[in-house]
């Protein structure tokens, strides 16, 4: 597996802190520049006292201000000060403190104390005082949300202090105390809504009731979709989690953002979370790790990024109810703020391990291989030609997949009911989709990252915003996941970045009708399966026609989807002129950007374990 390029904070990062002073030498204020409200990474590093970086205290990553230990007065005291802030009723400061120990046993002198002071025109107040390992455990975040007292007057300067006890031994402390980048919160007085982006990983559209499936996999989602608009054909740009999510978050096609599983991440691509955070949103993600782990750069722009629970070696299954509970609990605490939440689950992703009661909805008499669960290792055996499947076994794997979908649907129904009780959905734009589908032996393959047929690429999309998005609407047209970012931004009234590949369809969502379909492109550059000879491949789906081109062999497939939705009859020989036009469009798409990535970090053993458990590594 190739190295992955980290996505550092390269652009200006809006933070509360504007000046940094550390009592590690004489007159530190004279040594440090006064930083503006927009603190570029380069300026923070040049100050010599702090690093602005993403820090993970598993399983949560946060944008953090990490002090630099340096020579000077001992013990070190780090003192970060804010610019003066106007304090209004109910003004709060939100953030977290943490202590990273690197697995080293700490002595008393290695335990930092954190203090948050508020200094106003008419007095001062100690808002927080906590000591690591005494008041909170090491290698975990301790969140806080504190009211700023009006009694000390306005404006108020906040001071974020970390100091170590006098008996610390000379040299760098054995722990790193850090403040997560703090936010000042005020009661919402804005026309901007909340945004909830939900991605059900690996959910294909044609296995849901709202897209015509005859099994009861999604009764709740079917009902919920009537509160908003759904799009008939939505196409993923890549049949794998990492690449597809980067297109969702950047509005760029894979040839432009270059975040392929076998390569790195293009750090210049601005993300949806960064834009919303800059607009004043409190941003949080609740995921289940794997290829959406913050290791791959997805934490950029998020105040909090939850990477999911730890799991045992070579075992990974979705935990939708646990992940949903984390999101619900956070939203209960933040419901009076303007928020953007990214909610992700692998519940439908293999290994398939549905509860027995869910499986019995779809099957009761199977007693062959993988009767109760399907491990990811089996996909390697099938796709590498070691194991062949009988029709009854294929049907059983479909039942396992359907049972996982039904379990997820029930869990999401419970979450929705709880969020309605918290009244956090009253003015919230909700987007529900998937990053890619799943092959279930329709063309001789299991899992995903194997083909570019519709089962791997066509995903559901439901958009809900009461009074702003047309209700009970079915947009009978084709759009792509790369269109989501500009669509979300236009819907809420923010300007999308320039030069995106995605195009907003906010107007159609408001009206409930589509003007016309647009071409949708996809590609597959690598595979985890040894016998896969058809890679690299790329596809274009334009109206009723779809073309798949294989780069190495020069072969191509052409399907008339309106009469052959299963993509079984290749018409490349009889429709040469039509195929040529699609090939030219596909070539232009693939030429849109370079296909190389800069050097990056090698996968850690922990990340290799997660990806192996998801079936991305053998």
Is 41 a domain residue?
yes
Where residue 205 falls (left for φ over 0; alpha for ψ -120 to 50; beta otherwise) is: alpha
pLDDT for residue 87: 81
pLDDT for residue 283: 95
346-365 exposure pattern, b = at least 16 Cβ within 10 A, e = fewer: bbbbbbbbbeeebbebbeee
Is 12 a domain residue?
no
Q: Which residues pair with 178 in a beta bridge?
A: 98
Contact call for residues 592 and 253 (beta carbons, < 8 A): yes
- The encoded tokens of residue 3 equal 């190295």
- The encoded tokens of residue 25 equal 């030498």
- 78 has pLDDT over 80: no
Is 438 a domain residue?
yes
Are 384 and 411 members of one domain? yes
Work out the pLDDT band at 264, boundaries 50, 70, 90. low
State the average pLDDT over residues 261-273.
73
- The encoded tokens of residue 353 equal 């391990």
- 226 has pLDDT over 90: yes
554: three-class secondary structure by DSSP = coil
Contact call for residues 405 and 438 (beta carbons, < 8 A): no
Interval 389-423: pLDDT, tens: 999 999 999 999 999 999 999 999 999 999 999 99
Q: How far is Cα 205 from Cα 460, in angstroms, rounded to an integer?
A: 5
Is 11 a domain residue?
no
Are 109 and 253 members of one domain? no
Are 604 and 479 members of one domain? yes
- DSSP assignment of 365-404: S--STTSS-B-HHHHHHHHTTS----HHHHHHHHHHHHHH
Q: At what angle do helices 391-422 and 320-334 cross, to 10 degrees?
A: 20
Are 534 and 391 members of one domain? yes
Q: How far is Cα 411 from Cα 196, in angstroms, rounded to an integer?
A: 16
3-state secondary structure 144-169: EEEECCHHHCCCEEEEEEEECCCCCC
Q: How far is Cα 303 from Cα 279, in angstroms, rounded to an integer?
A: 13
Average pLDDT, the chain: 84
Contact call for residues 343 and 199 (beta carbons, < 8 A): yes
Are 143 and 220 members of one domain? no
Q: How far is Cα 273 from Cα 232, in angstroms, rounded to an integer?
A: 27
User: Which of 160, 181, 202 is the endpoint of a domain?
Assistant: 181
Are 207 and 264 members of one domain? yes
User: Which of 181, 215, 243 is the endpoint of a domain?
Assistant: 181
- 4 has pLDDT over 50: no
pLDDT for residue 186: 73
Q: CA 250, 253, 257, 260 torsion: positive or negative?
A: positive
Question: Which of 131-135, 138-142, 165-169, 430-434 has the highest average model confidence (pLDDT)?
Answer: 430-434
Are 59 and 23 members of one domain? yes
Interval 464-512: pLDDT, tens: 999 999 999 999 999 999 999 999 999 999 999 988 999 999 999 999 9
User: Which of 157, 181, 205 is the endpoint of a domain?
Assistant: 181
Work out the pLDDT band at 183, boundaries 50, 70, 90. confident
Is 188 a domain residue?
no
Where residue 114 falls (left for φ over 0; alpha for ψ -120 to 50; beta otherwise) is: beta
Is 186 a domain residue?
no
Is 205 a domain residue?
yes
Are 426 and 508 members of one domain? yes
Omega into 351 within 30° of 0, i.e. cis? yes
571-601 exposure pattern, b = at least 16 Cβ within 10 A, e = fewer: bbeebeebbeebbeebeebbeebeeebeebe
Are 433 and 402 members of one domain? yes
Q: How far is Cα 470 from Cα 463, in angstroms, rounded to an integer?
A: 9
The CATH number of residue 110's host domain is 2.60.120
- The encoded tokens of residue 126 equal 């100690």
Q: Which residues pair with 114 in a beta bridge?
A: 130, 162
pLDDT for residue 10: 29
Are 602 and 501 members of one domain? yes
Are 255 and 158 members of one domain? no
Is 595 a domain residue?
yes
Q: Which residues pair with 429 in a beta bridge?
A: 195
Total domains in the fold of the chain: 2
**Domain coverage including residue 542:** 194-613
Are 224 and 133 members of one domain? no
The CATH number of residue 249's host domain is 3.40.720.10
């Amino acid at each position: 597996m190739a190295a992955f390029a980290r996505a550092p904070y390269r652009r200006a990062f809006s933070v509360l802190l504007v000046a940094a002073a550390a009592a590690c030498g004489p007159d530190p204020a004279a040594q440090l520049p006064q930083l503006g409200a927009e603190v570029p990474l380069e300026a923070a590093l040049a100050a010599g006292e702090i690093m602005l970086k993403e820090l993970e205290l598993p399983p949560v990553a946060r944008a953090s201000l990490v002090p630099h230990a340096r020579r000077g007065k001992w013990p070190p005291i780090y003192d970060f000060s804010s610019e003066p802030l106007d304090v209004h009723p109910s003004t709060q400061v939100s953030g977290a403190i943490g202590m990273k120990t690197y697995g080293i046993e700490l002595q008393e002198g290695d335990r930092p104390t954190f203090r948050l002071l508020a200094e106003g025109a008419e007095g001062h107040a100690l808002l927080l005082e906590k000591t690591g390992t005494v008041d909170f455990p090491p290698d975990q975040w301790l969140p806080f949300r504190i009211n700023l007292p009006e009694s000390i007057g306005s404006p108020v300067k906040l001071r974020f202090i970390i100091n170590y006890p006098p008996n610390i031994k000379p040299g760098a402390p054995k722990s790193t105390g850090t403040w997560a980048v703090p936010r000042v919160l005020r009661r919402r007085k804005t026309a901007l809504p909340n945004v909830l982006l939900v991605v059900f990983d690996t959910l294909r559209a044609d296995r849901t009731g709202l897209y015509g499936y005859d099994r009861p996999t999604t009764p709740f989602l079917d009902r919920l979709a009537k509160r908003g608009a759904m799009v008939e054909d939505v196409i993923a740009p890549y049949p794998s989690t990492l690449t597809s999510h980067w297109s969702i978050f950047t509005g760029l096609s894979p040839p432009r953002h270059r975040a392929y599983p076998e390569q790195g991440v293009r750090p210049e691509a601005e993300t949806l979370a960064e834009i919303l955070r800059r607009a004043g949103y409190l941003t949080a993600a609740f995921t289940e790790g794997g290829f959406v782990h913050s290791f791959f750069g997805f934490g950029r722009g998020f105040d909090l990024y939850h990477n999911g629970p730890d799991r045992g070696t070579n075992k990974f299954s979705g935990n939708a109810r646990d992940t949903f509970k984390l999101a619900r609990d956070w939203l209960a605490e933040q419901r009076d703020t303007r928020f953007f939440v990214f909610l992700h689950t692998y519940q439908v992703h293999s290994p398939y391990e549905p509860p027995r009661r869910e499986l019995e909805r779809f099957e009761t008499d199977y007693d062959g291989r993988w009767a109760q669960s399907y491990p990811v290792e089996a996909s390697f055996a099938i796709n590498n030609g070691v194991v062949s499947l009988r029709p009854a076994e294929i049907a059983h794997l479909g039942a396992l997949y359907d049972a996982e979908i039904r379990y997820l649907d029930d869990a999401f129904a419970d979450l929705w009911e709880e969020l309605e009780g918290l009244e956090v959905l009253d003015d919230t734009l909700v987007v529900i989709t998937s990053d890619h589908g799943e092959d279930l032996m329709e063309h001789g393959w299991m899992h995903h990252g194997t083909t570019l047929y519709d089962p791997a690429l066509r995903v559901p999309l439901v958009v809900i915003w009461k009074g702003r998005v047309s209700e009970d609407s079915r947009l009978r047209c084709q759009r792509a996941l790369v269109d989501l970012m500009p669509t979300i931004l236009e819907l809420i009234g923010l300007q999308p970045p320039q030069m995106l590949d995605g195009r907003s369809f906010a107007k159609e969502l408001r009206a409930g009708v589509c003007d016309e379909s647009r071409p949708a492109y996809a590609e597959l550059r690598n595979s985890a399966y040894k016998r896969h000879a058809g890679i690299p491949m790329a596809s274009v789906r334009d109206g009723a026609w779809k073309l798949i081109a294989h780069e190495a062999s020069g072969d191509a497939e052409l399907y008339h989807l309106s009469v052959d939705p299963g993509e079984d009859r290749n018409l490349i020989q009889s429709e040469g002129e039509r195929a040529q036009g699609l090939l030219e469009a596909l070539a232009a798409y693939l030429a849109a950007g370079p296909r190389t990535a800069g050097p990056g970090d090698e996968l850690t053993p922990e990340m290799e374990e997660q990806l192996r458990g998801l079936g991305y590594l053998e």
